[in-house]
A and B are shown apart, each in its own frame.
Chain A
Amino acid sequence: MVSCRNVSVSYEGFSAVEDVTFDVLAGDYLCVVGENGSGKSSLMKSILGLIKPTSGRVTFDGLGPAEIGYLPQRTNVQQDFPASVHEVVISGRAGRHGPFAFYSRSDRARVDENLERLGIADLRRKSYRDLSGGQRQRALLARALCAAERLVMLDEPVAGLDPMMASEMYDILEGLNRDGMTIVMISHDMKGALRYGNRILHMRKKVLFFGASDEYVGTDAYRLLNAEGGE
């Protein structure tokens, strides 16, 4: 579905990602792990086209850029923004239209469907800035689902959530994956990554491990991250 070949990213001379090669297959639940500053977010951003890789290629197999959903890191979304949940979620559809288009009935239907799916239909008229952390994450996930047909990329979806909300989030993602959505998730939560993900990409600028999650436990890379207190 997505293939990265020898992708490197550097900012102003500082290299963040070095020579990363891996594939995302349809139906995958891929967890990207690694310490802070190991290039996880940079890699995701280069797949999404937000930053240009300095070398290497990202190719999509039958997937346009308007068909990928994205849940950014929480700190990158303004928290005090006057917008209703409905406005936020439907903005996931904006990229699908021409430059001067309005939303159609099918866009609205898609919003309703995703609000139901994430159990936040009753919040649609509420203001985004009045929501709790977990509700905000759900609203942003609903927005990502409005944009995505088959692939969502999540940058630390459970960071900052309490254990209850985090496990609800995992349940939602598991359900989506079961329904055929391919998931790529950056996570600091190793337990969650091993439990839910079918594949692991461990990064430290380069790829330390890439493969099935049950093979990951027992590798040197796994021990390294856990020994260093990688949660």
Chain B
Amino acid sequence: MSSLFDLLRELFSYGFVIRAMIVGLLVSLCAALLGVTLVLKRYSMIGDGLSHVGFGTLAVALSLNLAPLQLSIPVVLVAAFLLLRLSENSRIKGDAAIALISSSALAIGVVVISLTTGMNADVCNYMFGAILALSVSDVYLSVGVALVVLIMYVLSYNRIFAVTFDENFARATGMEASSYNMLIAALTAMVIVVGMRMMGAMLISSLIIFPALTSMRVFSSFKRVVICSGVLSVFCFFIGMVVSFGFSTPAGASVVLINLAAFCVFSAAGRAGLKV
């Protein structure tokens, strides 16, 4: 027990760990809340697509010596609206179009990197995350983004539920359903950009998808699913970071594996008949 305590004390003696914890916990919470709606509306692929687009713009920004986040946020926002339109329009195969966009963005990013800085350890960091990448200004930015997401989410909660459950009904009863879809997409884009550098472009979408899916195995009301997703996501992130530090494993991948473990536990509990 004391060795765990020592580990935690050592962990929190590093500035970069504290920064990673702050950013990670906030991003995990926001991603989990948005994830419930994205998963239920079958928009999970949007999260995945956005992270690939994020990787592409990050690569371009770095090769042009532009500020990475300042360029990524607007580009990923535009991509979010585009992907949303593709998913809403059933005539074009939405999922296939998203897959095309995300792999193209990834390819552009890789080519740009190899032409400029060359494929090196940095590329690996962008793809799979690096907690050392976070600066103090990143922390401020992520706190700001997280506050915006949380406030908008809480204020719009009832309408987000209505639009998630039955968009046609929501529209028929006078709600601007498409603006709520855009709100969700925009908030998701911001969370992904902020969380991407730490979790990695390839892994950030798991923060959106896992907690919601896990909670739905056991919980059966929307509010409980939302609350459980938030709590679970924060918990898994924290455990993942401790594991990563203790065993020197990559942070992003460790968090994903803890989420996978939680999913397995909740699935087993759900199958065993535990429904709350």
Which positions in A face B, CB cutoff 8 Å?
A: 12, 45, 48-50, 64-66, 68-70, 72, 76-78, 81-84, 87-88, 90-92, 94-97, 99-103, 127, 129-130, 143-144, 147, 153
Contacts and interface: CB of A to CB of B under 8 A. Distances in A.
Interface string B14-49: 000000000000000000000000001000000000
Contact of A99 (B156, B216, B221): B156
Interface string B158-172: 110110011011111
A103 B158 CA distance: 8
B5 to A, nearest CB: 38
A-B pairs, top 4 by smallest CB distance, nearest first, are A127-B220, A95-B173, A66-B174, A94-B162
A83 B40 CA distance: 11
A68 B173 contact: yes
A94 B168 contact: no
Contact of A76 (B158, B161, B168): B168
A91 B156 CA distance: 12
B140 interface: no
Interface in B137-181: 155-156, 158-159, 161-162, 165-166, 168-175
A148 B9 CA distance: 59
B222 A83 contact: yes
Contacts of A45: 168
B172 A70 contact: yes
B91 A12 contact: yes
Given A96-B174, A130-B275, 10 more contacts: A48-B168, A50-B171, A72-B168, A78-B165, A82-B224, A83-B165, A95-B173, A99-B155, A130-B220, A153-B172
B263 interface: no
Contacts of A101: 158
Contacts of B216: 82
B165 A81 contact: yes
Contacts of A88: 165
Given A12-B91, A78-B165, A84-B220, A94 B159 contact: yes
Contacts of B172: 48-50, 65, 68, 70, 153
Contacts of B224: 82
Interface string B190-226: 0000000000000000000000000010011111110
18 contacts: A48-B168, A48-B171, A66-B173, A82-B221, A83-B220, A83-B222, A84-B221, A90-B158, A91-B166, A91-B170, A92-B169, A94-B158, A96-B173, A99-B156, A99-B159, A130-B275, A143-B169, A147-B169
Please classify the interface of chain B as helix (H, G, I), strand (E, B), loop, or mixed, using the class held by over half of its residues: helix
A99 B165 CA distance: 17
Contacts of B166: 72, 76-78, 91
A53 to B, nearest CB: 15
A130 B270 CA distance: 14
B161 A70 contact: no
Nearest to B218: A82
A72 to B, nearest CB: 6
A203 B33 CA distance: 45
B53 to A, nearest CB: 28
Contacts of A12: 91
B11 to A, nearest CB: 35
Interface in B68-109: 91
A94 B222 CA distance: 15
A37 to B, nearest CB: 18
A91 B161 contact: yes
Nearest to B166: A77
A70 B170 CA distance: 9
A90 B174 CA distance: 15
Contacts of B170: 91, 94-95
Given A82-B216, A94-B159, A101-B158, A50 B168 contact: yes
A92 B224 CA distance: 20
A146 to B, nearest CB: 9
B174 A84 contact: no
B230 to A, nearest CB: 15
A66 B172 CA distance: 7
Residue from B156, B171, B219 having most chain A Cβ neighbours under 10 A: B171
B158 A102 contact: yes
A222 B197 CA distance: 67
A79 B171 CA distance: 19
Contacts of B275: 127, 130
A82 B161 contact: no
Contacts of B222: 81-84, 87
Contacts of A91: 158, 161-162, 165-166, 169-170
